[in-house]
């Protein structure tokens, strides 16, 4: 019985008309196969299996950059030339190289499994990237610690680890180097943060950059040329697009959304704004059953290491029901009340 089904599937997989149906490309074939399925419901399982084999799985493929490929090719050419020149000496050298490369291999493996580490484009640039819903703690070569929120990325040149480009959201504890007074820079699309040694939070989502300073002092250099000094407890928001600048002190009265130690802290923030945060961090879509729901205000902390816990907390805080299906969060009034 099972073999018979497999034979049937194999025949389907070779049938051009069936492939057209599965891909939905030819109208006649679609009609033909739809009619056939109606008449032969016993085959539906085999047909669906064959269809899924044809459609398959879509991968986001990651390949090395063409620059990297050129580099590697030149290395091969170099080896070939070297080998013809000194055939004997080389075999010894290669062995040594192999040993060295394996001891580093273990370390590389560790990093990949831990943080979705990507190191492709350029060997001179370090990139740390998080997936949706993933948070990583990083120690930079200079001793600065960075907590990178989900769907975010920092990159820096190996030669200059105190000069960082950020996309997304991160919390920095910058290690000060008193002997040299070395500065630390964070670049975003909208501004540059200049630091001596301090703790602060940068968020570049929603086409604007938010900076909150916890300790120490920093200078901001905006892309329009302005410079601003910040003192602890202040919040600055700037967008290059709208050139709108907000500079306030974070108090009990200011609406703010902060992210620290894996927790979002909100003060009088609308559900709409919070859900936009969730969309960026977890890569989901949010829909509202009723547009009024967007205006609900939330005050308090929401844990955000895990989408499920996060949704639960928001449900309780706003007395709503959130349905998670196929990458979409649908927000509804809680009917039980």
Partner 1 sequence: MDITSEESLWYFFKKGEINAFKALFKKYYPTLHAYGLKISNSSQLTEDCLQSFFVYLFENRNSLGDVKNLKSYLFSSFKRALFKQLQKQRLKTSLNDSNLLEYYITFSPQELAITQESQFLCSDTLHNLLNKLSSREKEVVYLKYYSDLSTSEISEVMDISYQSVSNTLQKAMLKLRKGTESQQIRNILKKY
Scanning residues 247 to 286, which ones bind partner 1 (CB under 8 A)?
283
CB of 273 to partner 1, least distance (A): 23
Among 31, 64, 121, 141, binds partner 1 (CB under 8 A): 64
Does 108 help bind partner 1 (rule: CB under 8 A)? yes
CB of 207 to partner 1, least distance (A): 21
User: What is the C-alpha end-to-end distance of the chain, expressed in Å?
Assistant: 53
Q: Closer CB to partner 1, residue 6 or residue 40?
A: 6
Q: How far is the CB of 58 from partner 1 (least distance, A)?
A: 4
Question: Which CB, 269 or 329, lies closer to partner 1?
Answer: 329
Closest approach, Cβ 205 to partner 1, in A, equals: 18
Asked if 10 touches partner 1 (CB under 8 A), the answer is yes
The DSSP secondary structure of 10-30, one letter per residue, reads HHHHH-HHHHHHHHT--HHHH
Among 4, 39, 58, 292, binds partner 1 (CB under 8 A): 58
Please answer whether residues 77 and 90 qualify as being in contact, where contact means their C-beta atoms are separated by less than 8 angstroms: no
Name the one range near partner 1 by CB under 8 A: 113-121, 170-178, 233-241, 253-261: 113-121
> Residue 113, interface with partner 1 (CB under 8 A)?
yes
C-alpha of 182 from chain center: 30
Contact status: 333 vs partner 1 (CB under 8 A): no
How long is the chain?
337
| Stretch of residues binding partner 1 (CB under 8 A), selected from 42-50, 139-147, 157-165, 259-267 | 42-50
Q: Which of 15, 32, 43, 49 binds partner 1 (CB under 8 A)?
A: 49
Token pair in block for residue 200:
């602060």
What CA–CA distances, in Å, run from 36 to 8, 54, 111, 181? 14, 18, 52, 77
Instruction: Kindly give, in sequence order, each residue whose CB lies less than 8 Å from that of residue 228, ignoring residues fewer than 6 positions away.
Output: 219, 220, 222, 236, 247
**CB of 102: closest distance to partner 1 in angstroms?**
5
Pick between residue 191 and residue 284 the one whose CB is nearest to partner 1. Answer: 284
The answer to whether residues 193 and 185 touch, using CB atoms and an 8 Å cutoff, is yes
Q: What are phi and psi of 59, to 5 degrees?
A: -100, 150
Which residues neighbour 81 within 8 Å (Cβ) at sequence distance 6 or greater? none
| The pairing of beta strand 184-187 with beta strand 160-167 | parallel
Q: Could you tell me if 303 and 313 are in contact, meaning their C-beta atoms sit under 8 angstroms apart?
A: yes
Query: What is the contact surface with partner 1 in residues (CB under 8 A)?
Result: 6, 9-10, 13, 48-53, 55-64, 66, 69, 72-73, 75-77, 79-80, 83, 94, 98, 101-102, 104-106, 108-109, 112-113, 116, 119, 131-132, 283, 323-327
């Amino acid at each position: 019985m099972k073999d018979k089904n497999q034979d049937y599937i194999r025949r389907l997989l070779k049938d051009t008309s069936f492939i057209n149906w599965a891909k939905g490309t030819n109208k006649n074939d679609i009609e033909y196969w739809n009619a056939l399925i109606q008449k032969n419901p016993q085959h539906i399982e085999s047909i669906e299996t064959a269809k899924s084999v044809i459609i398959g799985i879509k991968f986001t493929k990651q390949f090395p950059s063409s620059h990297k490929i050129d580099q590697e090719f030149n290395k091969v050419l170099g080896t070939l030339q070297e080998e013809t020149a000194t055939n004997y000496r080389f075999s010894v050298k290669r062995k040594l190289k192999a040993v060295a490369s394996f001891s580093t291999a273990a370390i590389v493996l560790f990093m990949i499994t831990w943080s979705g580490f990507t190191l492709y484009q350029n060997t001179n640039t370090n990139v740390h990237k998080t997936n949706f819903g993933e948070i990583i703690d990083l120690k930079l070569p200079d001793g600065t610690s960075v907590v990178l929120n989900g769907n975010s990325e920092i990159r820096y040149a190996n030669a200059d680890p105190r000069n960082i480009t950020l996309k997304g959201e991160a919390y920095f504890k910058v290690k000060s180097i008193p002997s040299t007074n070395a500065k630390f820079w964070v670049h975003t699309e909208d501004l540059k943060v200049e630091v001596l040694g301090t703790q602060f939070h940068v968020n570049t989502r929603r086409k604007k950059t938010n900076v909150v300073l916890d300790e120490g002092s920093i200078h901001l250099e905006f892309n329009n040329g302005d410079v601003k000094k910040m003192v602890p407890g202040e919040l600055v928001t700037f967008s290059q697009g709208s050139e709108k600048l907000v500079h306030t002190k974070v108090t009990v009265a200011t609406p703010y959304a902060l992210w620290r130690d894996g927790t979002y802290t909100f003060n009088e923030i609308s559900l709409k704004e919070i859900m936009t945060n969730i969309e960026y961090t977890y890569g989901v879509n949010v829909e509202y059953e009723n547009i009024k729901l967007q205006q609900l205000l939330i005050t308090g902390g929401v844990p955000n290491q895990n989408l499920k816990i996060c949704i639960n907390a928001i449900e309780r805080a706003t007395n709503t029901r959130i349905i998670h299906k196929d990458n979409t969060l649908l927000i509804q009034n809680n009917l039980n009340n």
